[in-house]
Amino acid sequence: MSGARRLDDAPWLKAGPASRVLKLLNADGEEARVVGGAVRNALLRLPIDEVDIATTALPEEVSRRARAAGIKCVPTGVEHGTVTLVVDAKPFEVTTLREDTETFGRKAKVAFGRDWERDAERRDFTINGLSVDAEGCVHDYVGGLEDIAARRVRFIGEPSMRIAEDYLRILRFFRIHAAYGAGDPDRAGYLACIGGRAGLTNLSAERIRAEILKLMVADGAVGSVQAMVEGGLLLPIFGGVAYTGPFAAVLSIEQALGLAPDPIRRLGALAVAVTEDARRVASRLRLSNAETKTLDSMGHRWWRLGGMDEARARRRLYRLGEERYRDRLILAWARSGERSDDASWRELATLPARWAAPKFPLKAADFLARGIAEGPELGRALALAEDAWLAAEFPLERPSLDAIADQAVARLTREPKS
């Protein structure tokens, strides 16, 4: 199947940093090709983020040639045959051809080789097993061209065996399908993923997090997530219920509002109904502190945001800030069952574009001047005044502010001392 198609619309093969690396390595009996996702995306006419290169040259030879050419070389994974060359500030992972000698998950033993077909056969999916040489000739040893034409994500070889080599391939199967596939997932691959789902518990939280967050923003995320739920594949990851209805609704709402896809917002819609869900999911996926706080905020009494008038919505926006207000409101909207073109929900969601919350104008000095001592009593006075200021709909005139401050002090003096 090698050389079944030419890649003509790829100027980066003829000039620029990638071309320079290929030229460097295509000499003195060695060969280099672009492999993997860059070939797939070029054939699908999609943006290319990274260009990975495979070569027959051993890592030591790659490093020697790079140094001789004045190219920065970083030994990012020499034991696995990978060095990174940096050309014009752009990194290129260059990996020597390999073949597995023993396979046991990510710790598979590999031997360097010179056989392009054997190297292709050890990759995960057929659409990722393609390579293209410096002349633009696409080499296909695994049926990837046919699967790209059909927008089909299919394991190379026996699916269950490929999954057993690395159970993260279960998540990659659905994520790659969501990004590049069409229709239902490949049946044989789907059944193999279900059969191997127990292996998900052996994966690190960090690796799972990376795949899940990429899945959340893929174009076909709704279909892949639904298939995962039906196959019982999200329960071992989240440890709780997955809400596919709100998840699909959030995607529609984002589109209706012109918002960019947000992986944490979408994760919240899929996995969070209350704050306990947020903390469990955040712990299982090892989310960052900021991501955890976002999920926790989404799950906190989102049901109170439905049916608000504008005055109440402004108070919520002031308390939460723009991003958390929007995320929690979108979750409430998605769970309401209302359509993504509902006018009342849209009015609430677009409030931050129409109104900017002012800063609370009263300061500690306003209460010190009224005889309130520094310490907890001062903090309590400020809190009482802020609540009253919100209830009065954010007045900024001095007489109104003085009245609010006086009322807060009077209320504080009436409170029983602890």
pLDDT band at 100 (very low <50, low <70, confident <90, very high): low
Query: What does the pLDDT look like over 368-403, one tens digit per residue?
Result: 999 999 999 999 999 999 999 999 999 999 999 999
Q: What is the pLDDT of residue 357?
A: 93
Q: Which residue has the tokens 């046919």?
A: 146
pLDDT band at 104 (very low <50, low <70, confident <90, very high): low
Query: Which CATH number applies to 5-150?
Result: 3.30.460.10
Tell me the fold of 152-237: cca-adding enzyme, domain 2 (1.10.3090)
Spacing of C-alpha 11 from chain mean position: 29
Q: The pTM is what?
A: 0.89
Domain boundaries, the chain: 5-150, 152-237, 239-357, 364-414
Query: What does the pLDDT look like over 245-256, one tens digit per residue?
Result: 999 999 999 999
What's the rounded Cα separation, in Å, for the pair 403 and 412?
Answer: 14
Q: What is the pLDDT of residue 356?
A: 94
Q: Look over the chain and give the mean of its residue pLDDT values, rounded to a whole number.
A: 94
What number is the average pLDDT over the span 29-47? 95
Q: Give Cβ neighbours of residue 379 (< 8 Å, ≥ 6 apart).
A: none
pLDDT band at 10 (very low <50, low <70, confident <90, very high): confident
What's the rounded Cα separation, in Å, for the pair 114 and 129?
Answer: 16
Q: Which residue has the tokens 């490929």?
A: 162
pLDDT band at 103 (very low <50, low <70, confident <90, very high): low
Query: What does the pLDDT look like over 212-248, one tens digit per residue?
Result: 999 999 999 999 999 999 999 999 999 999 999 999 9
Q: Give Cβ neighbours of residue 233 (< 8 Å, ≥ 6 apart).
A: 170, 174, 193, 194, 197, 200
DSSP 239: S
pLDDT band at 77 (very low <50, low <70, confident <90, very high): confident
How many Cβ atoms are within 10 Å of 356's Cβ, its own excluded? 9
